[in-house]
Structure 1
Amino acid sequence: MKIVIVDDDILVSSALKTILEAGGEVEVTGTGQDGKDAVRLYDELLPDVLLMDIRMKDMNGLDAAEQILKMHTDAKILLLTTFSDDEYIVKALKYGVKGYLIKQDYGSILPALQAVQMNQTVFGTAIMSRIPGLLQKEQKEKEQTFDWNSYGIGERELEITALVAEGLSNKEISEKVCLSEGTVRNYISNVLEKLELRDRTQLAVYYLQRSRK
Structure 2
Amino acid sequence: MTTRVLLVDDEPLVRVGLSMVLEAQDDLTVVGQAADGVEAVALTRELRPDVVVMDVRMPGVDGVEATRRIVAEDLPARVLVLTTFDLDEYAFAALRAGASGFLPKNAEPGELLRAVRAVARGDAVVSPRVTRRLLDTVAHRLPAGTPPDPRVASLTAREREVLQAVARGESNAEIAAALVLSELTVKTHVARVLGKLGLRDRTQAAVFAHRQGLV
TM-score range, shorter chain: 0.5 to 0.7
Corresponding letter in the other structure for 2:97 = Y
Query: What corresponds to 2:142 in structure 1?
Result: 139
SS at match of 2:59: coil
The answer as to whether partners of 1:86 and 1:134 remain within 8 angstroms in 2 is no
Rounded to whole Å, the distance in 1 between the matches of 2:47 and 2:68 is 18
Please tell me whether residue 124 in structure 1 is matched to residue 127 in structure 2.
yes
Q: Which deviates more, 67-76 or 44-53?
A: 67-76
How has the CA–CA distance of structure 1 residues 138 and 64 changed in structure 2, closer, same or farther, with 3 Å as cutoff?
same
Please tell me whether residue 59 in structure 1 is matched to residue 56 in structure 2.
no
Superposition TM-score, scaled by structure 2 size: 0.61
Q: CA deviation at 1:85?
A: 4.1
Which runs of structure 2 are paired with 1:64-79 in the superposition (5 Å)? 64-72=66-74, 74-79=76-81
Q: CA deviation at 1:73?
A: 5.5
How has the CA–CA distance of structure 1 residues 37 and 72 changed in structure 2, closer, same or farther, with 3 Å as cutoff?
same
The answer as to whether partners of 2:53 and 2:82 remain within 8 angstroms in 1 is yes
Query: What corresponds to 1:199 in structure 2?
Result: none
Q: CA deviation at 1:129?
A: 1.9
Which runs of structure 2 are paired with 1:40-119 in the superposition (5 Å)? 40-72=42-74, 74-104=76-106, 105-119=108-122
Q: CA deviation at 1:126?
A: 3.1
Corresponding letter in the other structure for 2:141 = E
Higher helix share: 1
Deviation per CA, 1:19-75: give whole Å up to 9, x if none. Answer: 211122211110011111111110111101001111111111011000110002643
The answer as to whether partners of 1:90 and 1:134 remain within 8 angstroms in 2 is no
Q: Which deviates more, 13-22 or 90-99?
A: 90-99
Rounded to whole Å, the distance in 2 between the matches of 1:128 and 1:85 is 10
Corresponding letter in the other structure for 2:80 = L
Rounded to whole Å, the distance in 2 between the matches of 1:132 and 1:84 is 12
The answer as to whether partners of 1:66 and 1:95 remain within 8 angstroms in 2 is yes
Q: CA deviation at 1:125?
A: 2.1
Q: CA RMSD in A?
A: 1.7
Rounded to whole Å, the distance in 1 between the matches of 2:44 and 2:22 is 19
Rounded to whole Å, the distance in 1 between the matches of 2:114 and 2:87 is 23
Structure 2 unmatched runs, 5+: 146-215
Rounded to whole Å, the distance in 1 between the matches of 2:28 and 2:97 is 25
SS at match of 1:130: helix
The answer as to whether partners of 2:36 and 2:61 remain within 8 angstroms in 1 is yes
Structure 1 unmatched runs, 5+: 144-213
Rounded to whole Å, the distance in 2 between the matches of 1:93 and 1:80 is 12
Query: What corresponds to 1:202 in structure 2?
Result: none
The answer as to whether partners of 2:83 and 2:90 remain within 8 angstroms in 1 is no
Corresponding letter in the other structure for 1:83 = F
Tell me: higher relative CO, structure 1 or 2? Use CA pairs within 8 A at least 6 residues apart. Answer: 2
Rounded to whole Å, the distance in 2 between the matches of 1:74 and 1:22 is 24
Rounded to whole Å, the distance in 1 between the matches of 2:135 and 2:25 is 36
Corresponding letter in the other structure for 2:27 = E
Deviation per CA, 1:163-187: give whole Å up to 9, x if none. Answer: xxxxxxxxxxxxxxxxxxxxxxxxx
Corresponding letter in the other structure for 1:106 = P
SS at match of 1:3: strand
